[in-house]
Amino acid sequence: MPQPASADASIDRSFAEPASLERRRAAAERRRLALDDRKRSFLRMVSHELRTPLNAVIGFSEILSQELYGPLGAPQYKEYAAIVHESGLKLLKLVNQIVELARLEGHVTDIELTRENLDEAFADVIHGLKAEIARRDVIVHVVGEGALPCALADRRGLRTMLTNLLQNAVTHSPAGGVVHVSAIRIGLEIEIAIRDQGPGVETAELPRLLRPFEQGGSALTRTTEGAGLGLPIVDLLSRAMGGQLKLSSSLGAGFLARLILQAG
């Protein structure tokens, strides 16, 4: 007759099963990390291969649209060159956003926190968006301009976040609308608020906006351009700086983005 399993064998199996599970988990984690590395390498390669021809397209189309070496002839040529130039800039922006997102998701950051003057940062960002603000006939009102507090942030990352948030507000504002910008110190933190007068989104939709390639509204009703990378990039950058991004909105009530950073 077969002998019953000994108590020692049962004990051995009880130790072996958790060890086997731990090995499987470790192997799965190694596969995930390897896949992430391959994805980031692929994105870096693609972005490099796209940037090189894009720079040529943007540069030469600008020369053509401005007729630097003489008239092109028919006026349509100048118009088409301007369209090519604008389209090239949009595509380059998308490539840069994808690279930034891959870098942040892979925790490959070169964040250097310094004391940043928010008046200077907003002045730089508003100047960079000047043409778009004018084209959309939007007013940007900075509350307390000239006396804004300082924040502890990465210089480039701060401007990237403010640009994405302000551009989002301007894009969704109606003609003649006002975008209100403020920055106040609350204890050891700085709260930067950017509020627009756009159509807003349903409150339940807000978490989705922090996922890459998501936008407010459905694909059928959406009227604005963009791949939906601006807010996820702000979210990841803010967390890399020890801060956070908070969104508030409801249909017909505009959109409010609050960026929380350490006080400088």
Task: Say what the pLDDT of residue 189 is.
Answer: 95
How confident is the model over 68-83, as pLDDT tens digits? Answer: 888 888 888 889 998 9
> Measured between alpha carbons, how far is residue 243 from residues 147, 185, 254 in Å?
22, 14, 24
Share of the chain above pLDDT 90, in %: 40
Q: What angle do CA 98, 99, 100 make, to 5 degrees?
A: 90
Residue 28 to residue 35: CA distance in whole angstroms = 11
Residue 167 confidence class, pLDDT cut points 50, 70, 90:
very high
Average pLDDT, the chain: 82
Task: Say what the pLDDT of residue 91 is.
Answer: 85
pLDDT surpassing 70 at residue 216: no
pLDDT surpassing 70 at residue 2: no
The residue among 132, 190, 170 whose CA lies nearest residue 254 is: 170
How confident is the model over 83-120, as pLDDT tens digits? Answer: 998 888 888 878 877 777 777 776 656 788 999 999 99
Specify the CATH class of 113-263 in words.
Answer: alpha beta
Amino acid at 258: R
Phi first, then psi: what are they for 239, rounded to 5°? -70, -35
Q: What is the pTM of this model?
A: 0.69
**Which residues, 6+ apart, have CB-to-CB distance to 246 below 8 Å?**
257, 258, 260
Residue 136 to residue 133: CA distance in whole angstroms = 5
pLDDT surpassing 50 at residue 220: no
